Amino acid sequence: MHPDQRDQQAAFQFKGGNLTITTLELMTADCAKIEQELSRQTQKAPAFFRQTPVLLSFDQLEELPVALEMIVDVCKRNGLIPIAVRCGQEAIKKSAWALGLGWFPPLTERRLKEVAKDKGCIQRLPTRFVRGTVRSGQQIYASCADLVILGAVNEGAEVIADGNVQIWGALRGRAIAGAQGDTDAKVLCQQLRAELVSIAGVFQTFDACEWPENSDLPVELRLEDQSLVIV
Amino acid sequence: MARVVVVTSGKGGVGKTTSCASIGTALAMQGHRTVLIDFDVGLRNLDLVMGCERRVVYDLINVTTGEAKLSQALIKDKRLDGLFMLPASQTRDKDALTYEGVGEVIETLKEEFDFIICDSPAGIERGAVMAMYYADEAIVVTNPEVSSVRDSDRIIGLLDSKTRKAEEGESVRSHLLITRYDPERVEHADMMSVQDIEEILAIPVVGVIPESPAVLRASNQGVPVVHDSDSDAGQAYSDTVARFLGEELPMRFTELERKGLFSRMFGGRR
Ligand SMILES: Nc1ncnc2c1ncn2[C@@H]1O[C@H](COP(=O)(O)OP(=O)(O)OP(=O)(O)O)[C@@H](O)[C@H]1O
Ligand SMILES: [Mg+2]
C-alpha cells in the first residue's frame, strides 16, 4: 500500500443502532381491502401519511399467494414508503428482493411469548451438562431442568432451559432461560457477546457493537419488573 | 494404519482444494503413500491444481458403480512416486455417489495408502457430509473473516455428529488451517486474528497460510504451491504438514513485517 493512502479519510463508517419504524402488520393480502382501509386511515390522520417509511410484516398472514408488488403500489399511492418486508415465506422474500426491498426474518417474539404463558414445569429434573463448544446450527434444550455448558455457545447456536442457563465460556449465540415461564430463571456466562438472551419470554437482542460495560467479565442476566437486567 | 483425512470448510472458495493439493504433495514428498479424492462432483478442479486434468479417464463415480476398476481410475502424479488422485465426475449427478460405494472405495484404498485425503465440496449438504463421513481426522479450512469462521463452526458441529466416528461414539480429530491470512489487514482490524479464530472454533491450529500471489501462479501452472519452496505459502504448507505429522514448529507469516527501505524499493513481498 502506498504510504499516504493510509492517511486518507474513510469514505464512510458502518454504524449499528436501533431505529423505531412503523410496521404495517397485514391481516389480508387482498389489495382492495388494504387500499380501502388505508384511505380511511389517511382521512383520519393525514399528517402520518406523508412519505412515511414502513415495514411490511406478513407474520400474521397465512394466505398465499401474495402480490407484493401490488401491495407496495397501494402503499405508495397512500403516502407510505415500504422499505422492507418481514416474513417467513420464501416467495415473499424473493419478490421483496426483486423489488429492491430489504428482508427481515419473522419475529420470534410470538413463539417466546407463547411459551411464557405456560407455567408447566415446577418440578425440576437433574441438571443437564454439555461438555465442549455448542456450535453454529446446534440447539440444546434442557427440559424442566437447568442447563450447564462447559464451553462456549457460538454465534448461530441456541441453548434453552426451562430452568437456568449457565455457560462457562463466552455466550456468542442465543440463550433462553425459563422457557416455560419461570421468571426467576437466570442466564450466567463468562463473557457476553450474545445475539439474544431471553428469560421467561422477555428477550433482548444485542447490536454487535453495543456491549454493556464489563461484559468481558462474568455476568448474570435476570428479570426485574418484567425487564431484563445485566448484573 | 491408514489415516482418512477430510479437508472441509463450509464456506466456498476458502482454499480447500489448494490445501488438499499441497498437503497431499508434502506428505508424498516425505515418503508417505498418499491418495487425494475429489468429492466436488460437477466442479472437479483438484485435477487442475494437480496438473493432471488431461489424464482423467475414469472418476470416483465410475468406480463406485463398477464401471471402472479402482486401479484404472487412479492417476499417478507426474512428479512424485507414491502420490495418486481419484478425480470427481464432471458430468454425473451428485446423487450418484452412495455411502456404501464410497465406503468400499475407501476401504480398498486403506490397504494401499498411508493417507487418504478427501477434498470436500463447499456447503453443508449431502456432498460435504459424504466427504467427511469416513474421516478419522479433519482439516478445517477457514479464512480470517466472520462468515468463514461461522461456517467452519457449523462444519465442526457436523464432524461431531454426522460422521461414522461420531456414530460410533468417537470423535474426528480436527485441525484448524487458516488460509489467505493477511497480517496487514488483521492489524487494521479488517480481518480476524489467529487468536480470535482459535478462541471461537476451539480446535488446535495446524497452520496459517498467508495470502500469496504464489498460490494463483502455482495453480495456473498445475503445480501445487508447496513445490515452490521459495514462496511464503509453499513454506507455510510444508510447516503445516510437519505439524500435522506431530512436529512442533512456531507459526510463521502471521506477524506484519515492518518493511525496510530495501523491500519497499523492490516491491516487497514475493
Ligand atoms: N493463500 C492464498 N493466497 C492467495 N490466493 C489463494 C490462497 N489460497 C487459495 N487462494 C485462491 O482462492 C481461490 C479458491 O481456492 P480453492 O479453489 O482452493 O478453494 P476451495 O475452498 O477449494 O473452493 P470451492 O469451495 O469452490 O471448492 C483460488 O483462486 C485460489 O487460487
Ligand atoms: Mg474446491
The per-residue pLDDT for A212 is 67
Residue nearest to atom 9 of ligand 1 (CA): B15
CA dist A3 → A7, B99, B188, B259 (Å): 8, 55, 14, 11
Mean pLDDT of B143-171: 96
Q: How high does pLDDT run on average in chain A?
A: 85
Compute the count of residue pairs across chains A and B with CB atoms less than 8 Å apart: 34
- For the entire predicted model, the pTM comes to 0.73
Q: Report the atom number in ligand 1 closest to the C-alpha of B181.
A: 1
Closest Cβ–Cβ partner in A132, A136, A151 for B153: A136
Residues of A in Cβ contact (< 8 Å) with B200: 152, 154-155, 172
- What's the ipTM? 0.77
Contact indicator for A154, A91 with CB cutoff of 8 Å: no
Helix (H), strand (E) counts: chain B: 13, 8
Residue nearest to atom 7 of ligand 1 (CA): B180
Residue ranges near ligand 2 (ion) with Cβ within 5 Å: B 16-17
pLDDT value for A1: 47
- CA distances, A78 to each of A28, A75, B230 (Å): 17, 5, 68
pLDDT in the model for residue A138: 93
Strands (E), A94-186: 102-104, 128-131, 139-142, 147-150, 158-161, 165-171, 174-177
Cβ–Cβ of B153/A156 closer than 8 Å? yes
C-alpha B121 to ligand 2 mean position (Å):
6
- Can you list the pairs that A34-40 forms with residues at least 24 positions away whose Cβ atoms lie under 8 Å? A34/A71, A34/A74, A35/A74, A35/A77, A35/A78, A38/A74, A38/A75, A38/A78, A38/A80, A39/A78
CA distance B36 to A39: 67
Judge whether A151 is closer than 8 Å to chain B, CB to CB.
yes
Contact B252, B205 (CB under 8 A): no
Distance CA B154, CA B9 (A): 9
Q: Is the CB of B40 under 6 A from ligand 1?
A: yes
Ligand 1 within 6 A of B216 CB? yes
* pLDDT tens track for A76-125: 988 899 999 998 888 899 999 999 999 988 876 545 555 444 456 667 89
Handedness of CA B192, B194, B195, B200 (dihedral sign): positive
Q: Is the dihedral of CA B45, B58, B27, B4 positive or negative?
A: positive
Task: With a cut of 60, say whether residue A214 has pLDDT above it.
Answer: yes
CB contact under 8 A, A155 and B150: yes
Q: pLDDT for A159-196, tens place per residue? A: 999 999 999 999 999 999 999 999 999 999 999 999 99
- CB < 8 Å & 24+ apart, contacts of B252-255: B252/B208, B253/B181, B253/B183, B253/B208, B253/B209, B253/B210, B254/B181, B254/B183, B254/B194, B254/B208, B255/B183
Tell me, rounded to whole angstroms, the distance of Cα A30 from its chain centroid. 28
Confirm or reject contact between B124 and chain A (CB < 8 A): yes
Cell matching residue B37: 479424492
Helix axes B194-201, B146-159, angle to 10 degrees: 30
* pLDDT at residue A61 is higher than 90: no
Q: Which three cell numbers stand for residue B87?
A: 478425480
Which whole number is the average pLDDT over B20-31? 98
Between CA B76 and CA B50 the distance in angstroms is 10
Q: Could you tell me how far CA A117 lies from the centroid of its own chain?
A: 19
Q: What is the mean pLDDT of chain B?
A: 93
Q: Whose CA is nearest to atom 6 of ligand 1?
A: B215
User: Which residues from chain A sit within 8 angstroms of residue B169, using beta carbons?
Assistant: none
